[in-house]
Structure 1
Amino acid sequence: MKFESLCKRSAAIEAESGDLETVSLVAALLSESDEDLSTITRFIQGRVFPAWSSETLDIGTSLCHVAIARAAGPNVRPEDIENRLAERGEIGAVAESYDFGGQQGLAAFGAGGSQGRLTVSEVDSELRSLAKTSGSGSQDRKLDLLFGLFTRCSPIEARYLARIVLSEMRIGVGEGAVRDAIADAFSVPADTVERALQVTNDYGHVARVAREDGADGLTALQLEIGRPVQAMLAQAGTAAEGIDTWGEAIAETKFDGARVQVHYDGTSVSLFSRNMDDVTDPLPEIVEFVSETATVPCILDGEVIAIDENGDPLPFQAVLRRFRRKHDIAKMRNEVTLELNAFDCLHADGVDLLDEPVTERHATLRSVLDGSQAVSETIQTDSLDKIAVFETQSLEAGHEGIMLKDPAAVYSPGNRGQHWLKRKPDIETLDLVVTGAEWGEGRRANHIGTFLVSVRDGDSFAPIGKVATGITDAQLEELTTLCEPHILSESGQSIDLSPAVVFEVGYEEIQQSPTYASGYALRFPRFVAVRDDKTPETADSLDRVDRLAESQ
């Protein structure tokens, strides 16, 4: 398919406001995609690689701005791109506003008239080549490749290429719409598509299997060691709610650590974060432990926590010092000791266990790890008193609280439901996306001093408050460094940021307020931590804030 054809279809989808109509348009596009089906399924979500893949283009907004400026002509500077971005609001509209057919583009390729001739497969191939560019001078080579693509783009192609490059497709097509479109396009049940997506985490692959092999092919798809899936999530709840609903509850320790998915193929170990990033290299002691302990190939779910010299747990921030590490890993291993606490088994010895009850999965986990103390401690009871005692023991041991699980619950990747409940004894927190900021004053003038935080609201983000307390000077310096690459524009002290960084924010109360677009404001918000393990797409939603506000 011509890339321009895909872009025109994307524009039609973007212009459609109805959910059913959007699904219908996407289904029609997928059914006509031929050999480009997998690529198009990813492109319309702003993806080049499958959701499970850790591979990225590694192109920030600044590099994209430079590429657009170069393609637009010798008189256009990156600053001009930023100024036009402030006017037009998003990078696609900026790229579309320039004529990339000038002499600079012609000189780069030695021929004219190439605009509108790009194919989807060519764009995919070029972007994958760009992603593989590494080493000395890699940024310059990435810039050259991206510049070359833009010079071959018609205006509408430039619009969507810029969005794909920055993973901001913005056509109103979420994961649910793609799932339903695959079902409609190839006449397969939506729940069968959903299940296939859960075990593969690859929309492009699922679309192709649905077209070629139908529902039977989708049903045959299984977990694959080395290919991470989304983690099952918990919602807030009480022990009484759990017992009333389930009859009995499994209580287990809630660790103040970082979620990891462990993949062991019988020889090698791979570790993935909650965002499915590959974190194998920074965690060598976890790799060693699994290699020495696991009795069969497996996929495990658990948390990595940091411990002191006495084996007592350290705060979550200590774990992040290791997760962020790309260099001096041996040195950091000596400074921060990590251990695995496994609480679930998704696959063992060639058998998927997602549909088994949690009691069976936990029993298999004990067998896989040969009775190791790394398996989380649990109790199963209908007694609130016993759960209270277990919670007290967990807190006294320095852990965060307890989890409550339905003994009959299956493992549902990516879903947050009533089968897992989390109890925390301390203040409630929200995981919020930083979408704006303000430069500090006085001794903090060179650092960001205030952060505008937002909740997820569909495909956009709605502000809910500003955070300026609970942050030390050292943390401000680190947070400024973290946020600066995502600055879109500045006006005086105010900063507009692209949604990229997620903060855990504590608060005392959620109040209704006309000040923010969310309709709420946080009372006494304070910074708790950076959630490196979360993306803006997995931050807390406005629906959750609605529920929390109602339950206060």
Structure 2
Amino acid sequence: MFTITKFIGHSRFIVKFVSLAVKVYPQVSISTFSIINARSMSQKSITSFFTITPKKPVKVQQKNKDEDETESPNDTTSPPDIGKEKRSSKRQRLDSSGSESSAPVEASPPASDKKKKPKRQRIESSGSETAPSPKSSPMKVEKSKGPPKTYNSPKSKKKVKEEASPLQKKEVNKQKSPPKTQVKVKKEATSPVAVKTEKEVKVEKSTSPESKNEIKDSEKKEGKENEEVTKVPETEYDPAKPKYHPINDACWSRGQEVPYLALAKTLEAIEATSARLKIVEILSNFFRSVIVLTPEDLLPCVYMCLNQLAPAYHSLELGIAETYLMKAVAQCTGRTLAQVKSAAQKCGDLGSAAEQARATQRTMFAPPPLKARKVFQALKEVANMTGQASVNKKIAKIQSLFTACRNCEAKYLIRSLEGKLRIGLAEQSVLQALALATATTPPDPDGVKVLDASKGLSAEQFKARLDEHALTIKTTYCECPNYDALIPVLLQHGVAALPQHCRLTPGVPLKPMLAHPTKGVHEVFNRFENEQFTCEWKYDGERAQIHVPAGEGGAAPDLAKASIFSRNQENNTSKYPDILRRLPGLLKDSVTSCVLDCEAVAYDVETKKILPFQILSTRKRKDASEADIKVQVCVFVFDLLYLNDRPLVREPLADRRRLLQEHFNEVEGEWQFATSKDCTTMEEVQQFLEEAVKGSCEGLMVKTLVGAHARYDIARRSHNWLKLKKDYLEGVGDTIDVVVIGGYRGRGKRTGVYGGFLLACYDHENEQYQALCKIGTGFSDEDLQTLSKELEQHVIEAPKNYYSYDRSHSPDAWFGAACVWEVRCADLSLSPAHRAAIGLVDSEKGISLRFPRFIRVRTDKTPEQATSAQQIAEMYLAQDQIKNNKSKPTNLDDFY
């Protein structure tokens, strides 16, 4: 104990000596001072050891008046410095030396270099170079006129320290030390009692009524500004919120890019909702916020809601196989490919498995949050990557996106890359949501001025306005199915200006008009009672929409830019080079531009007969060379939609057919008009149907000829067109296009191939494939061999989460939704074991096909274009034995 006390005494002597030397000789180096600081810190630690032990009560010595007057301003005003003085005085009382206890306060070890330097500078500027005595102050401070602030005892110091408010302490700490040239410092300005906070100043100013009014006005302005600044946290964004406000309930501010998490949250809310009207409302809320805050992000958001990258006719696809996506997820999350496959199999969805894997992953440095615009650009970059190393480049790009995912972003990013969102959001719902968003919050190029236009309108008035917007948007999109052209006009000029700026244009394919099936001739007359109609042969081929744009100057057609599109808007120009070569023989000199609706049919040039569709399907699908073509085609033209810069879709069929015959030529075996006849009696229709069957056609197309119902309804399955097939007496009036989702292993002579298959229809509302029936008849041995090889390419380990089926009918192998078949059946019946159209006719039972049989493979249709659940329900209710049922068929005379 004696040794330690002796050591402390020596240390204090050295510290005292050096500190006095620094004051006398300011040129002492910083390194020397750091040594002093280090030693003083060691002294502190040793002294603190003894402060733990209880001490004998000692009388508190009061400071002399001179000592109080010589305290520096910083020591007086700063509460932390007061605490240091208090602590240093206790340390001095531990030593037995009385001379050391009377050492000046300035000799106490400084807390840091930063605090020491300003004190030393003030000493230099005072002009005193003589060494101060222990009892005198080294620095003189000019006293204020008022009484000086003194502390009579440590208790009084503590009391003042407690009275100082936190705000006052904050203000004092913020005050900077006086500049080097400043010599005198007024004590009043640095006193914590004299410092007033901004709030106190405002309170003093607000005593007068005028100042109160000014403060209220400023608060109102600040409230408006805060309305723009405050935003909901991205993880709490909820577009399904009742009475949604497009600014206050958004999770981003005006001018900021839309967070991808906001879009993902919207898709998640839609997936959790089954009611179509609620889905439209949720999506419209999100669109309203985008229109108000960041209108330039509306286009990429619309595309990603539809899971598209560009218009369909651009044929821009991601081209990412599911295995590559699993590989990317595995590499990002540190899992094996087998683990990711197993998780996807359990979840039934790779997106959900990826979300779970991402949630358990921890990153050292979080990447910047994803933005909707940048995600869309990245997806387009992935789709445009080609070449040998394109797969590795795509995986690297996907990984960079995946590692930045938060919350539910990973699920919908992976689903977008798969090309299957599966959230129950159809394109018509997106268009309806756009209509609701623009009707509620009208866009304006100078900034949205009305956030809720429904205020002040009755429910009927607003519904009428909404219906007008929806009809304009849907009709315009049908004529110009290109969001790249539609969305900018919508934001710049409004909904009313869409028909003027977005018109039917050669090169942009239309969605074709479709016909309703009918079972017999009597239904034709029931539908077209008191109306004039015509009958045309229904050719068994592939829909071809031929576009010929005008050349420079508009004097002649530009045949080099002519293009051919399929019924689902795919560009088939490279598939039919022979048709393009024959175009000059079709067009007369009066034609400068046109759009024709046709049917391309396999044709035997020698016998001059139409060949079955199966022969046409053997042609090469892309980049065909005319020299290698073995199957010749004849194009049967049946409608004219555009002629010489003039859209004709709103003209009656009689006028369109007259213009078609006036401006186009027929060339036998190459270009022919559809065989037609205007019938007035059932006998004429029956006779014409038999002629069509003899001419190797499927049946008849019955169309309204004149009147308001005779226009070309783009993208509609309209009752203004009816199809009457040759097999209408065999039970069901129309064949059914189904999707193959499962296969059963064959037995007996079918061993080694699939002997039966599980078929499904497509439900557009829920984006599901619903099991319809099992099929095992109508196949030849060659068919089974061919179909089994083709289906092996689409085998998946487990059913997708958007497959709706009964477990009792689980197949031996599951297939991805890729192959479309045409089947026929005797009739339809309710089934508790199948899920097709469940809820449309019966709340618990679906609909199944009785005695189904295979007809052919439909290579011209995508799985989404298969027969819908609504059509299955209508076919069921149209049967004679069901007609007395109270249930009404679903109305499909609308945009599909």
2:685 matches 1:387: yes
2:284 matches 1:27: yes
CA contact (8 A) 1:61 1:485 kept: no
Q: For residues 64 and 369 of structure 1, what CA distance do their matches in structure 2 show?
A: 51
More displaced 10-residue stretch of structure 1: 364-373 or 34-43: 364-373
Structure with greater strand percent: 1
| Matching residue of 1:113 | 366
User: Secondary structure of 1:345's match?
Assistant: strand
Q: For residues 798 and 428 of structure 2, what CA distance do their matches in structure 1 show?
A: 35
Q: Give TM-score, length-normalised by structure 1.
A: 0.91
The Cα of 1:287 is off from its aligned counterpart by 1.4
More displaced 10-residue stretch of structure 1: 10-19 or 356-365: 10-19
Question: What percentage of aligned pairs have identical amino acids?
Answer: 29
Residues 316, 24 of structure 1: alpha-carbon distance in 2 compared, 3 angstrom cutoff: same
2:779 matches 1:471: yes
2:784 matches 1:524: no
Equivalent position to 2:660, from 343, 365, 381? 365
2:560 matches 1:252: no
Residues 263, 242 of structure 1: alpha-carbon distance in 2 compared, 3 angstrom cutoff: same
- Deviations 1:300-357 (CA, angstroms, capped at 9, x unpaired): 11111001231211111111112x5336644651x21111111111111111111011
Residues 356, 68 of structure 1: alpha-carbon distance in 2 compared, 3 angstrom cutoff: same
Q: For residues 477 and 62 of structure 1, what CA distance do their matches in structure 2 show?
A: 26
The Cα of 1:17 is off from its aligned counterpart by 3.4
| Matching residue of 1:192 | 472
**1:302 counterpart letter in structure 2:** C
| Matching residue of 1:76 | 336
CA contact (8 A) 1:83 1:489 kept: no
Q: Structure 1 unaligned runs (5+)?
A: none
More displaced 10-residue stretch of structure 1: 509-518 or 301-310: 509-518
The Cα of 1:481 is off from its aligned counterpart by 4.3
* Larger RCO (CA within 8 A; separation ≥ 6): 1
2:629 matches 1:305: no
CA contact (8 A) 1:437 1:451 kept: yes
CA contact (8 A) 2:358 2:410 kept: no
- Deviations 1:73-124 (CA, angstroms, capped at 9, x unpaired): 2x321x4333222211222211111128969xx8xxxx9311x622112211
Matches within 5 A, 1:371-520: 371-372=666-667, 373-408=671-706, 409-426=710-727, 427=730, 428-441=734-747, 447-457=753-763, 458=765, 459-490=767-798, 494-518=812-836, 519-520=846-847
User: Secondary structure of 1:399's match?
Assistant: coil
Equivalent position to 2:499, from 208, 211, 219? 219
Residues 487, 151 of structure 1: alpha-carbon distance in 2 compared, 3 angstrom cutoff: farther
**1:541 counterpart letter in structure 2:** S
The Cα of 1:4 is off from its aligned counterpart by 1.9
CA contact (8 A) 2:576 2:624 kept: no
The Cα of 1:201 is off from its aligned counterpart by 1.7
2:401 matches 1:149: yes
Q: For residues 476 and 514 of structure 1, what CA distance do their matches in structure 2 show?
A: 29
Q: For residues 496 and 202 of structure 1, what CA distance do their matches in structure 2 show?
A: 36
2:387 matches 1:135: yes
| Matching residue of 2:137 | none
Q: For residues 450 and 403 of structure 1, what CA distance do their matches in structure 2 show?
A: 34
Residues 363, 40 of structure 1: alpha-carbon distance in 2 compared, 3 angstrom cutoff: same
More displaced 10-residue stretch of structure 1: 487-496 or 273-282: 487-496
Q: For residues 218 and 129 of structure 1, what CA distance do their matches in structure 2 show?
A: 30
2:241 matches 1:241: no
- Deviations 1:52-81 (CA, angstroms, capped at 9, x unpaired): 4322112232332232223222x321x433
Q: For residues 100 and 145 of structure 1, what CA distance do their matches in structure 2 show?
A: 20
Equivalent position to 1:541, from 849, 868, 879? 868
Aligned length: 541
CA contact (8 A) 1:242 1:248 kept: no
User: Secondary structure of 2:365's match?
Assistant: coil
2:458 matches 1:165: no
- Deviations 1:150-173 (CA, angstroms, capped at 9, x unpaired): 233235211011111122222332
Who wins on radius of gyration, i.e. which is larger? 2
CA contact (8 A) 2:578 2:626 kept: no
Residues 351, 466 of structure 1: alpha-carbon distance in 2 compared, 3 angstrom cutoff: same
Q: For residues 624 and 492 of structure 2, what CA distance do their matches in structure 1 show?
A: 48
CA contact (8 A) 2:679 2:685 kept: yes
CA contact (8 A) 1:434 1:497 kept: yes
- Deviations 1:431-463 (CA, angstroms, capped at 9, x unpaired): 112222234456755544432111122321211
CA contact (8 A) 1:243 1:382 kept: no
Residues 360, 133 of structure 1: alpha-carbon distance in 2 compared, 3 angstrom cutoff: same
CA contact (8 A) 2:481 2:509 kept: yes
Residues 68, 487 of structure 1: alpha-carbon distance in 2 compared, 3 angstrom cutoff: farther
Residues 444, 493 of structure 1: alpha-carbon distance in 2 compared, 3 angstrom cutoff: farther
Equivalent position to 1:183, from 425, 435, 438? 435
Equivalent position to 1:550, from 877, 880, 886? 877
- Deviations 1:283-307 (CA, angstroms, capped at 9, x unpaired): 1111122244223311111111001
Residues 473, 68 of structure 1: alpha-carbon distance in 2 compared, 3 angstrom cutoff: farther
Residues 218, 88 of structure 1: alpha-carbon distance in 2 compared, 3 angstrom cutoff: same
Q: Structure 2 unaligned runs (5+)?
A: 1-257, 440-465, 550-556, 800-809, 837-845, 880-896
- Deviations 1:187-212 (CA, angstroms, capped at 9, x unpaired): 26111111111112235643443232
Q: For residues 325 and 19 of structure 1, what CA distance do their matches in structure 2 show?
A: 37
The Cα of 1:16 is off from its aligned counterpart by 3.0
The Cα of 1:513 is off from its aligned counterpart by 1.9
2:348 matches 1:89: yes
More displaced 10-residue stretch of structure 1: 13-22 or 298-307: 13-22
Q: For residues 180 and 337 of structure 1, what CA distance do their matches in structure 2 show?
A: 43
The Cα of 1:514 is off from its aligned counterpart by 1.6
Q: For residues 332 and 430 of structure 1, what CA distance do their matches in structure 2 show?
A: 34
Q: For residues 484 and 744 of structure 2, what CA distance do their matches in structure 1 show?
A: 40
Q: For residues 409 and 823 of structure 2, what CA distance do their matches in structure 1 show?
A: 39
**1:99 counterpart letter in structure 2:** R
- Deviations 1:2-41 (CA, angstroms, capped at 9, x unpaired): 2122112222232233333221221121122221111111
**1:146 counterpart letter in structure 2:** I
User: Secondary structure of 1:197's match?
Assistant: helix
The Cα of 1:414 is off from its aligned counterpart by 1.5
Q: For residues 130 and 25 of structure 1, what CA distance do their matches in structure 2 show?
A: 29
Equivalent position to 1:228, from 502, 509, 517? 509
CA contact (8 A) 2:548 2:595 kept: yes
Q: Give TM-score, length-normalised by structure 2.
A: 0.57
The Cα of 1:226 is off from its aligned counterpart by 1.2
**1:423 counterpart letter in structure 2:** L
Matches within 5 A, 1:254-403: 254-265=538-549, 266-267=557-558, 268-294=561-587, 295-308=591-604, 309-322=606-619, 324-326=620-622, 329-330=625-626, 332-333=628-629, 335-372=630-667, 373-403=671-701
Residues 543, 375 of structure 1: alpha-carbon distance in 2 compared, 3 angstrom cutoff: same
Q: For residues 469 and 525 of structure 1, what CA distance do their matches in structure 2 show?
A: 7
User: Secondary structure of 1:301's match?
Assistant: strand
User: Secondary structure of 1:387's match?
Assistant: helix
| Matching residue of 1:46 | 307
**1:241 counterpart letter in structure 2:** E
User: Secondary structure of 2:610's match?
Assistant: coil
Q: For residues 65 and 311 of structure 1, what CA distance do their matches in structure 2 show?
A: 53
